[in-house]
Amino acid sequence: MRYKLTAIIEKEGDGYVALCSELDIASQGDSVEDARRNLLEALSLFFECASPQEIQERLSQEIYITPVEISVG
C-alpha cells in the first residue's frame, strides 16, 4: 500500500525538524534533506511495526495547510 503524506520541515536552532501531520510523527536532522530522510525512516519503521488498526486510528485524512494573517496591537 502507498500513502501520500505531508512533510512539514522547519528550522529549529541549529537543525531542522520534520513533521508528518497525518500520523503525528516527527524527526530531525542537520539539514532539510537530513530531516526529510530521517522522517522517511521514522515513517517506514512506524508502518513496519504498527498494526492496521493503529495506522487507521492515527491516520488523519484531512490536513489543511493554509496561510493565515492576524493583526496584533
Query: Mean pLDDT, to the nearest integer, of 58-65?
Result: 82
Portion of the chain with pLDDT greater than 70, in percent: 100
Q: What is the pTM of this model?
A: 0.85
Is residue 6 predicted with pLDDT exceeding 80? yes
- CATH code of the domain covering residue 60: 3.30.160.250
Residue 35: strand pairing partners: none
- Alpha helices, H only, 1-73: 32-49, 52-58
pLDDT one-digit tens code per residue, 26-47? 999 999 999 999 999 999 999 9
* Spatial separation of the C-alpha atoms in residues 53 and 16, rounded to whole Å: 31
Number of domains in the chain: 1
* Residue 58 or residue 11, greater confidence: 11
| Residue 49, domain extent | 1-73
Please state the length of the chain: 73
